[in-house]
Structure 1
């Protein structure tokens, strides 16, 4: 593993210490044994509020949990994804038994079937009952467990909304099952597939074959991404794949980027305010969580209004800002700009002056509004 990759992994693990990590022993009826769990709760998790969080179920938790937990905490800190509950399932010497499948149809049997039921009928209900969870679940696996998480995709109502499949040791019939299921699936589903050139030849061949099949699908409900890495070993590839997977799954959650601003928002022929509303409604629809509109995203829409001189949209932006940040001067600034540019300077002046008791936000200060009010007063002699 490259030194830079080791450093990044250490940084992510150290960063995750700020989150709340718990270790639990879970008595499973399905497995007829106790299984060790690692659970990372978000930094902001409190038992006294009603905020809900997506769930990550991480197989091979004995070595994969820390990498996932660190990445999730890091990306959530920078608001590139929502905070989430990460659950690692330790498998150790149980891995072969947990992933057992039939040679006749490639589906779980015996101890593999028991592990399948443990995840779906015991573990996830327990997490949902114990913690405040959103109905958005991500499954992550590596080689044998990367094959196993696909069994939950085959259900009539898939258990997970996102699958991170890293260097999978695919059962033979999965090359037929997975593309056929993805072809028919009727709900939005994220599917991330990755491998490395240093995987065993059989893994590489099967993964490339699966990629070819999925790439040919026309189902708009499938949100698919694929990476083929050259340098990492089979055991190091998760540290390369996980950031790519999170960026793929949560691209719609991310703040407005420079690229999005330049290539999409500035070129809109319709309302940029409506675009902002739709962006955040999509976050609610896809991830089943409510995300407050970021001040930086308000600033991006405001900048587009100024750039395109489409000042009529400021009125709607002011209403939205008033709903999101009612105790700040944000809505007053936007409403003042609306009246300034639509021929009502006196009204704009009063709006600016009336914001004196509200809080500053996002670089918009009391001084700025008073300056704008004074300029209007001077220009028009009010």
Structure 2
């Protein structure tokens, strides 16, 4: 088990090394001092000049940046999440002052109030102005800084779209005010909370208490996830919480899996093509990304339409594929299959034949297309 974990960590950090990390010093008027930043840019950031990227903001970047950046790069490489810009704030011993709050109202105070404004009024606008960013931001914090990111929930609208709370050391009232605030937030919020069975007792108990309330909240705009890792300490839970959080927050972004194909698509009574369109509309609405539909997802929904005999959905999927991938056989194959099932063999034959000079995709080869055309010729005597 230890060897497997070591191999995985080596792979993650090896992948991270191929992403571009830049170091900057930010002169903050709010803080009256300079702060060091670590910024990991996605692979091919410099060449993909039309592409925009979500932001993952990491507090406690002195030790939290590398595990977050490594996971973001790894998940992005396999398309389990969008490629993203990771911004880390170096804090060191200043983290305690940065996270300071008032003893009476428990809101950021003194240096904590300055740090709150530094992030919202200086740092994030700077990142937006100097990098190609999508309108989706996740914040990551651990104990004191995990508590701190929750203050941005009380802005209207909240500054962040996602909150990854790793063993938060909550201020005395924030774990009760969060459940009161959530129902009043109109924008979509992703909220992840993690503790461990061997976490610091007080922090584990407060996380468990908050979880008991949050899991009962019913809201279409609040996506909540919780882990209590067996055997995990205050520090080791970080390594397990980060990938779990990213996987859950970006679940809708992932390519359609075999499980989704079997458990969802093959059991759908509503049009399958609409499921495909809705998936990418959700990606656009949530993450600010207008991605082309993946070939994998065209094939999954096309095959499911065939299996369930949703022929009109198959036609819609074929026409979408022809528009997005006109130089491939993808759309022609599914359109030809539609014509076959609709009793229009001549149209099917011509559609299959028309793809003889196009790029092959997955199992759909030019030979397969011509074989299907030839079989129609034999069957119908054309």
Q: By the TM > 0.5 criterion, same fold?
A: yes
Provide the rounded CA distance (Å) in 1 between the counterparts of 2:355 and 2:47: 36
How many residues are matched?
382
State the match for 1:332 in structure 2: 332
State the match for 2:361 in structure 1: 361
Is 2:25 the counterpart of 1:25? yes
How far does residue 7 in structure 1 lie from its aligned partner after superposition? 4.1
State the match for 1:380 in structure 2: 380
Provide the rounded CA distance (Å) in 1 between the counterparts of 2:217 and 2:141: 23
Is 2:241 the counterpart of 1:241? yes
User: Contact 1:345 / 1:376 at 8 angstroms: preserved in 2?
Assistant: yes
What's the secondary structure of 2:289's corresponding residue? coil
Which 5+ residue runs of structure 2 have no aligned equivalent?
none
State the match for 1:137 in structure 2: 137
What's the secondary structure of 1:135's corresponding residue? strand
Which 5+ residue runs of structure 1 have no aligned equivalent?
none
What's the secondary structure of 1:274's corresponding residue? helix
Counterparts in 2 of 1:122 and 1:47: CA distance versus 1, 3 Å = farther
What's the secondary structure of 2:253's corresponding residue? coil
What's the secondary structure of 1:232's corresponding residue? strand
How far does residue 153 in structure 1 lie from its aligned partner after superposition? 0.8
How far does residue 317 in structure 1 lie from its aligned partner after superposition? 1.3
Counterparts in 2 of 1:166 and 1:2: CA distance versus 1, 3 Å = farther
Provide the rounded CA distance (Å) in 1 between the counterparts of 2:112 and 2:312: 61
User: Contact 2:199 / 2:232 at 8 angstroms: preserved in 1?
Assistant: no
State the match for 2:125 in structure 1: 125
User: Contact 2:272 / 2:310 at 8 angstroms: preserved in 1?
Assistant: no
- For 1:111-151, what per-residue CA distance to the aligned partner results, in whole angstroms no more than 9, with x for missing partners? 00111111111111111000000000000000000000001
Provide the rounded CA distance (Å) in 2 between the counterparts of 1:25 and 1:2: 38
User: Contact 2:54 / 2:84 at 8 angstroms: preserved in 1?
Assistant: yes
How far does residue 17 in structure 1 lie from its aligned partner after superposition? 0.8
State the match for 1:278 in structure 2: 278
Cα-Cα RMSD: 1.4
User: Contact 2:54 / 2:134 at 8 angstroms: preserved in 1?
Assistant: yes
User: Contact 2:138 / 2:160 at 8 angstroms: preserved in 1?
Assistant: yes
Alignment of 1:71-150 (within 5 A): 71-150=71-150
Is 2:147 the counterpart of 1:166? no
Provide the rounded CA distance (Å) in 2 between the counterparts of 1:48 and 1:14: 22
User: Contact 1:9 / 1:239 at 8 angstroms: preserved in 2?
Assistant: no
Provide the rounded CA distance (Å) in 1 between the counterparts of 2:379 and 2:130: 63
Given the two structures, how large is their TM-score scaled by the length of structure 1? 0.97
Provide the rounded CA distance (Å) in 2 between the counterparts of 1:343 and 1:219: 47
What's the secondary structure of 2:251's corresponding residue? coil
Provide the rounded CA distance (Å) in 1 between the counterparts of 2:301 and 2:330: 13
Provide the rounded CA distance (Å) in 2 between the counterparts of 1:42 and 1:103: 41
